[in-house]
Amino acid sequence: MTTELIFNLANLFVLPFWGLMIFFPRWQWTQRLMGSVIPFVVLALVYLYFFVFALSPESAEALASPNLADIARAFSNEKVMAAGWTHYLVMDLFAGRWIYEQGQKTGVWTIHSLLLCLFAGPLGLLSHFLTAAIVSRFFPAVVTSPEEQPAP
């Protein structure tokens, strides 16, 4: 398999999980799949593959440097960029799952935060923190504690 094919498959692999969290958050299969570590293990293995084949003395030196120009040069390598992008896929999905789980536990609305997290992970986290704070402050009756949640 080529780097591009594996890269494209990794991008497609995450979409069903995002779709389930956004469109079917209370569905039993969504809850079961998102409670699993399997999606993260699969993506981490893809990341490991890209990382190993991208690692060279030059890329290791560049990525260990806090110098923006060196890091930019390293990311001009297709394999380094594939590893970096896969890193984003894993971490954004992980953050999205956390947002999803928090929404399930507390009743705070998460669709907008999950959409933001899908496209710009840290903005999705920020959105969820702000939404949870606003709901907690102005609509405390909406927020439920985990003990008040019905059993699945």
Predicted confidence (pLDDT) per residue in 46-67, tens digit: 999 999 998 888 888 887 877 8
| Residue 64, pLDDT score | 85
Distance, CA of 150 to CA of 22 (rounded, Å): 20
Structure tokens at 26: 């209370």
Q: Which of 105, 101, 100, 102 is nearest to 144 (CA)?
A: 105
The whole-angstrom separation of Cα 74 and Cα 126 is 29
- How confident is the model over 2-31, as pLDDT tens digits? 999 999 999 999 999 999 999 999 999 999
Q: What confidence score (pLDDT) does residue 145 get? A: 59
Sign, CA dihedral 121-125-126-127, equals positive
Cα–Cα distance, 112 to 130 (Å, whole number): 12
**113 Cβ contact list (under 8 Å, min separation 6):** 99, 103, 124, 125, 127, 128, 131
**What's residue 37's pLDDT?**
96
- 3-state DSSP call for residue 1? coil
- CB atoms near residue 40 (< 10 Å): 16
